[in-house]
């Protein structure tokens, strides 16, 4: 049984209803296009189900010094940058690009509290574009570990994405691995870590949220 994320339930129900109605209409009208349409529409429906799937992802080794991947996808950036929205200092940045076939659930990489949350409207450049982190529609969330160490995560909408869903509220507490958001139809998540973080991924590596460790924090 496929678990569907709450953001996708209306899409799946509407898609199934549309598919059934279209198939019934073509069948009872004896249309010559019945099978081609049923096959194409069926594939489209399965793609919707695949996009909104939310597979169970228990943390393999709970440890708040381990920064687990907050999303599924490919590592497209590992570099030191100046983070100018919140930290205003150099940070280690790791970016995960999610294509439309990836799981699009975003998860907290360690336990703590939300110390900052801010939505920014913007453009819809391709999510892999270097300027997308600063110019696209995006949502910034800063999470604080119990000892005060903070990590910034930025959900970035892509060319196909038109809605960032975020459940992080300033002051709320959370557990490692819990959902904090969802981005619809292609996107990326940027993680800004302290300079002392030990990065444990490499460029072009495929990662899974809650499964793969992005970095180790002292």
List pLDDT tens digits, range 158-169. Answer: 655 557 888 999
* C-beta separation of 120 from 85 below 8 A: no
What global pTM score does this model have?
0.85
Q: What is the domain partition of the chain in residue ranges?
A: 6-51, 66-216
pLDDT for the residue numbered 133: 61
What confidence category does residue 126 fall into, taking pLDDT thresholds of 50, 70 and 90?
Answer: low
* C-beta separation of 92 from 127 below 8 A: no
Mean pLDDT over residues 124-134, rounded?
Answer: 57
What confidence category does residue 1 fall into, taking pLDDT thresholds of 50, 70 and 90?
Answer: confident
Q: Which range scores top for mean pLDDT: 65-79, 98-112, 128-142, 147-161?
A: 65-79
Q: Which range scores top for mean pLDDT: 100-104, 163-167, 189-193?
A: 189-193
Mean pLDDT over residues 117-124, rounded?
Answer: 79
* Residue written as token pair 């990836």: 102
Catalytic residue positions, numbered: 187
CATH fold, domain 66-216, is: Glucose Permease (Domain IIA) (2.70.70)
Q: Which of 212, 210, 208 is nearest to 72 (CA)?
A: 208
Residue 215: both structure tokens together:
């970095």
């Amino acid at each position: 049984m496929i678990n569907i994320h709450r953001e996708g339930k209306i899409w799946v129900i509407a898609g199934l209803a549309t598919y059934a109605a279209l198939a019934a209409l073509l069948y009872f009208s004896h249309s010559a296009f019945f099978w081609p349409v049923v096959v194409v529409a069926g594939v489209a429906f399965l793609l919707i189900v695949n996009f909104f799937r939310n597979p169970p992802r228990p943390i393999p080794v709970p440890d708040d010094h381990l920064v687990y991947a907050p999303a599924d996808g490919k590592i497209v950036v590992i570099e030191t940058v100046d983070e100018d929205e919140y930290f205003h200092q150099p940070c280690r940045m790791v970016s995960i690009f999610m294509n439309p076939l990836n799981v699009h659930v975003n998860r907290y990489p360690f336990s703590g509290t939300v110390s900052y949350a801010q939505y920014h409207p913007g453009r819809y450049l391709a999510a892999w574009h270097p300027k997308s982190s600063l110019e696209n529609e995006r949502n910034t969330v800063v999470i604080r570990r119990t000892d005060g160490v903070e990590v910034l995560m930025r959900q970035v909408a892509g060319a196909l994405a038109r809605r960032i869903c975020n459940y992080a509220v300033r002051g709320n507490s959370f557990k490692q691995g819990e959902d904090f958001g969802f981005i619809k139809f292609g996107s990326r998540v940027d993680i800004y870590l302290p300079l002392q973080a030990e990065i444990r991924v490499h460029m072009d590596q495929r990662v899974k949220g809650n499964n793969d460790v992005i970095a180790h924090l002292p």
